[in-house]
């Protein structure tokens, strides 16, 4: 967890879904922005890499304002298509009314604007299509 200038940022990494996300949400009642794992999942390592749907559930458990799915579109570790994680994440996020951003690889994202200016235009291009 990183707190900068009034913005709380969760920097997520490899983690399967479990109750620890609810515990984080209790400890940090306001999480403005979260980098959430969404790729490289498989049935043989559910405690290391969660599915995209579990990533969205984690954002719900932690009451995240804006999430950015990560750990996809890099290199292959799992047996899923390279763009499957983002498609599944977006679908699940829509079903849970979770705000997300999908910046292009290397695109600068001024995350402090998300908490300071709720109407700031978020990068949501479907650039992988």
Neighbours of 40 (CB within 10 A): 19
Span between the terminal Cα atoms of the chain, in Å: 32
Cβ(87)–Cβ(69) below 8 Å? no
Better-scored residue on pLDDT, 38 or 23: 23
Neighbours of 27 (CB within 10 A): 9
Strand ranges (E), 12-112? 31-37, 64-70, 99-100
What domains can you pick out in the chain, each with its CATH number?
Answer: 2-116 (3.60.15.10)
| pLDDT exceeds cutoff 70 at 118 | no
Please tell me the distance from the alpha carbon of residue 105 to that of residue 102, in angstroms, as a whole number: 9
Please state the pTM of the whole predicted model. 0.88
In whole angstroms, what separates CA 46 from the centre of its chain? Answer: 17
pLDDT in tens, 57-105: 999 999 999 999 998 877 777 888 888 999 999 999 999 999 998 888 8
Better-scored residue on pLDDT, 114 or 60: 60
């Amino acid at each position: 967890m990183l707190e900068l200038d009034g913005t709380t940022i969760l920097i997520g990494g490899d983690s399967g879904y479990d109750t620890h996300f609810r515990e984080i949400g209790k400890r940090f009642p306001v999480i403005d922005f979260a980098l959430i794992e969404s790729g490289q999942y498989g049935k043989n390592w559910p405690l290391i890499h969660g599915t995209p749907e579990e990533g969205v559930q984690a954002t719900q458990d932690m009451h995240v304002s804006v999430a950015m799915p990560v750990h996809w579109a890099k290199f292959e570790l799992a047996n899923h298509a390279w763009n499957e994680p983002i498609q599944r994440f977006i679908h699940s996020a829509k079903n849970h009314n979770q705000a997300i951003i999908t910046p292009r690889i290397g695109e600068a994202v001024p995350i402090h604007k998300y908490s300071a200016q709720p109407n700031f235009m978020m990068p949501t291009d479907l650039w992988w299509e």
